[in-house]
């Protein structure tokens, strides 16, 4: 079962169905919105300058703003882990431990 399906099921079945939308709104508005509105357009602008003979990965490695973006991304780890723990408590699934690959 996918995480999304599980979270939808939990939201429908939980005694506090408003918990999931609140967590999702906080995740989006507090933690992700600033990062994405800052860095997504900046990276797209850089990607548009990629020469045809350079791979996208190699081109991104040479982006002068990459260290700043990655530092901001690293700052999100703590808040995102806290949200994952809230979601885990809500649905009863550890979202931070990688699951084994399917066989």
User: What's the confidence (pLDDT) of residue 78?
Assistant: 93
Q: Please tell me the pTM assigned to this model.
A: 0.68
pLDDT above 70 covers a percentage of the chain that reads: 83
**Cα–Cα separations (whole angstroms), residue 36 to 3, 12, 42, 69, 76:** 22, 29, 10, 10, 11
């Amino acid at each position: 079962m996918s995480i999304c399906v599980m979270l939808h099921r939990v939201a429908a079945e939980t005694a506090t169905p408003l918990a999931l939308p609140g967590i999702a709104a906080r995740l989006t508005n507090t933690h992700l919105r600033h990062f994405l509105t800052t860095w997504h357009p900046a990276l797209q602008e850089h990607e548009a300058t990629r020469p045809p003979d350079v791979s996208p990965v190699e081109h991104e490695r040479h982006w002068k703003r990459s260290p700043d973006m990655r530092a901001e991304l690293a700052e999100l780890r703590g808040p995102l882990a806290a949200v994952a723990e809230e979601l885990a408590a809500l649905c009863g699934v550890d979202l931070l431990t990688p699951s084994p690959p399917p066989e």
